[in-house]
Amino acid sequence: MTYEQLDFTTYCIGLLACRLGMNQRDVYDKLKESSILDDYIVKAYEVLHTFSSDYIADDLLGYMKEKGVIE
């Protein structure tokens, strides 16, 4: 993982934590356990980081719901 991917991943975790009202550690654990962290956020960094915060949050929340990570 590059520094840019790590920075973006941290940003996404913070963004989701705010949207979900959860602490960042719990969000990280959910993303890691569901493989969304490595298989989507890190792998799709080149595309995802070009979008707005709202788009990123909505996209990730939708994917988390689709995978059953959140309700």
The whole-number mean pLDDT for each consecutive block of 10 residues of the chain, a chain of 71 residues, reads 96 98 98 97 97 97 96 87
Q: How many domains, in total, are found in the chain? A: 1
Rounded-to-integer distance, Cα 16 and Cα 27, Å: 7
Question: CB–CB of 60/36 below 8 Å?
Answer: yes
Question: Is this prediction's pTM over 0.85?
Answer: yes
Full domain range(s) for residue 32: 3-64
Rounded-to-integer distance, Cα 26 and Cα 29, Å: 5
In a domain, 70, yes or no: no
Rounded-to-integer distance, Cα 36 and Cα 28, Å: 10
In a domain, 71, yes or no: no
- Per-residue confidence (pLDDT) for residue 48, from 0 to 100: 97
